[in-house]
């Protein structure tokens, strides 16, 4: 470019660049303000991450992108809500709404409560009549966790003579209910429904051994249509001791665990028993965990003898399931384990935390944390959160080398597994529901 022309053009370019930069900065500030405003609107909250039942997405208990502080004080809670009663059922979160079951403090009924995740204010409450039931000392009448999807919330509860599965919409209107009759149990009810596509699945396990009152129960897995409640299939499973695990659903298969059948799989479409491998000696309370082609479950008793077993699931109808490894030292009974980044993290009922290579079962580390545990661990980001019955929370590094990051005294008993969605952690402490 000739020098005289450059001397004319350059100042113009400078002025144009300043205008463009100013306009761009203004546009970015406007867009940021608009985006920030959008996040606080109901439309944006409808896009929030969900925790749609026990142990979250896929019964996995893991959110790799979540953030958990290493510690917190009581004043850090965004809100607390007094439920008036202490129960051990966990929470489901869908589209910015929290759902949980709680006993009524004034009359023999069970409550389904919907709470706004952002504010802690009650959206609505529905109550259902509920008679007393024989319970284990750690169990409560509201010990089941709701399941949710974009249209409905599903809850199960039982008073021994009646076992209900109910469906409500997100405004609290009951869509349908089913009564599956008597539930024979030593320790009370505690199974949670799960929903996948158009199907709601309930592990209706019952006691057949050591029955003190009445007739032995008959166990079955039940699948109903989520919109109508109509039975799709019912499959009998082996009845021994009542088992409480929530099935995991993968690749069209319902994967579950019980004492009589061990780890087994049913067809989600037809309910047909696809395979089973009896690997347990005692009651199954935890839910099965799926890691690649492995299904991992545990069983045990209050007196010990716990064992965790990994089974390789058959790749085709001609294959058979195979036990890959068995862990009998510091194996969990009640808490459900978690798998993250090729590692299996466990907390046993007596407070020993361990990390294993999930593919081989080889131990990476183990450490006594202390306390007695019923709540299951969850993995948030690079941290594992475990909470004992006394409400003492421990944050561990989710890594192959042991690292305890912090201990937090929550100031009340905890029997329910935490839930997490949209950047908020929900804890059921004593009679309170707390949001961090």
Domain containing residue 176: 57-435
* Helices and strands: H and E segment counts in the chain: 2, 33
What is the rounded CA–CA span in Å between residue 224 and residue 250?
Answer: 18
CB atoms within 10 A of CB 170: 18
Whichever domain contains 109, its CATH number is 2.130.10.10
What is the rounded CA–CA span in Å between residue 419 and residue 68?
Answer: 12
CA-to-CA separations, 374 to 20, 45, 336, 369, in angstroms, rounded = 60, 32, 9, 14
Residue 52 lies in a domain: no
Closest C-alpha among 373, 297, 420 to residue 88:
373
Residue 15 lies in a domain: no
Alpha-carbon Rg for the chain, nearest whole angstrom, is 25
Q: What's the total number of domains in the chain?
A: 1
What is the rounded CA–CA span in Å between residue 368 and residue 208?
Answer: 36
Residue 288 lies in a domain: yes
Q: What is the pTM of this model?
A: 0.86
CB atoms within 10 A of CB 17: 10
Residue 39 lies in a domain: no
Give Cβ neighbours of residue 223 (< 8 Å, ≥ 6 apart). Answer: 199, 200, 201, 202, 231, 232, 233, 234, 254, 268, 271
Q: What is the pLDDT along the chain (436 residues), one digit of tens a residue?
A: 433 333 333 444 444 344 434 444 343 333 333 333 333 322 333 233 899 999 999 889 999 999 999 999 888 999 999 999 888 899 999 999 999 999 888 778 899 999 999 999 999 999 998 777 665 556 567 789 999 999 999 999 988 788 999 999 999 999 999 999 877 676 678 899 999 999 999 999 877 677 667 777 789 999 999 999 999 999 999 988 888 999 999 999 999 999 999 999 999 999 999 999 999 999 899 999 999 999 999 999 988 899 999 999 999 988 999 999 999 999 999 999 999 999 999 999 999 999 999 999 999 999 999 999 999 999 999 999 999 999 999 999 999 999 999 999 999 999 999 999 999 999 999 999 999 9
Residue 380 lies in a domain: yes
What is the rounded CA–CA span in Å between residue 307 and residue 28?
Answer: 57
255: burial class by Cβ within 10 Å (0-12, 13-18, 19+)?
buried
Residue 34 lies in a domain: no
Residue 318 lies in a domain: yes
What is the rounded CA–CA span in Å between residue 304 and residue 299?
Answer: 10
CB atoms within 10 A of CB 240: 22
Residue 157 lies in a domain: yes
CB atoms within 10 A of CB 65: 7
């Amino acid at each position: 470019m000739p020098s005289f022309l450059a001397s004319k053009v350059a100042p113009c370019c400078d002025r144009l660049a300043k205008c463009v930069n100013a306009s761009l900065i203004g546009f970015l500030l406007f867009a940021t303000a608009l985006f920030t405003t959008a996040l606080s609107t109901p439309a944006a909250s409808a896009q929030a991450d969900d925790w749609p039942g026990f142990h979250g997405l896929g019964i996995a208990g893991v959110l790799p992108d979540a953030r958990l502080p290493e510690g917190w004080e009581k004043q850090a809670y965004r809100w607390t809500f007094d439920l008036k009663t202490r129960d051990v059922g966990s929470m489901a979160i869908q589209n910015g709404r929290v759902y949980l079951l709680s006993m009524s403090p004034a009359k023999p009924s069970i409550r389904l409560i919907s709470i706004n995740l952002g504010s802690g204010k009650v959206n609505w409450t529905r109550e259902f009549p509920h008679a007393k039931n024989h319970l284990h000392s750690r169990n409560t009448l509201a010990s089941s966790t709701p399941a949710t999807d974009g249209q409905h919330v599903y809850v199960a509860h039982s008073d021994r003579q009646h076992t209900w599965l109910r469906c409500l919409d997100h405004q609290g209107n009951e869509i349908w209910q089913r009564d599956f009759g008597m539930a024979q149990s030593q320790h009370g009810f505690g199974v949670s429904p799960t929903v996948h596509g158009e199907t709601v699945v309930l592990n209706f396990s019952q006691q057949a051994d050591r029955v003190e009152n009445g007739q032995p129960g008959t166990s079955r897995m039940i699948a109903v249509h989520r919109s109508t409640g109509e039975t799709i299939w019912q499959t009998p499973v082996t009845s021994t001791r009542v088992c409480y695990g929530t099935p995991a659903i993968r690749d069209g298969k319902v994967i579950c665990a019980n004492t009589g059948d061990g780890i087994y799989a049913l067809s989600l479409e037809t309910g047909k028993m696809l395979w089973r491998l009896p690997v347990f000696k005692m009651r199954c309370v935890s839910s099965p965990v799926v890691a690649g082609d492995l299904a991992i479950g545990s069983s045990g008793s209050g007196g010990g003898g716990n064992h965790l077993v990994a089974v390789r699931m058959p790749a085709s109808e001609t294959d058979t399931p195979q036990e890959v490894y068995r862990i009998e030292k510091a194996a969990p009974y009640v808490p459900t384990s978690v798998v993250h980044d090729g590692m299996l993290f466990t907390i046993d009922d007596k407070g020993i935390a361990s990390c294993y290579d999930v593919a081989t079962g080889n131990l990476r580390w183990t450490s006594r944390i202390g306390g007695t545990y019923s709540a299951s661990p969850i993995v948030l980001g690079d941290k594992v959160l475990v909470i004992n019955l006394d409400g003492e929370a421990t944050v561990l590094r989710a890594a192959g080398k042991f690292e305890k990051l912090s201990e937090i005294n929550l100031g009340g008993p905890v029997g329910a597994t935490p839930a997490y969605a949209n950047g908020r952690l929900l804890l059921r402490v004593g009679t309170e529901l707390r949001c961090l």
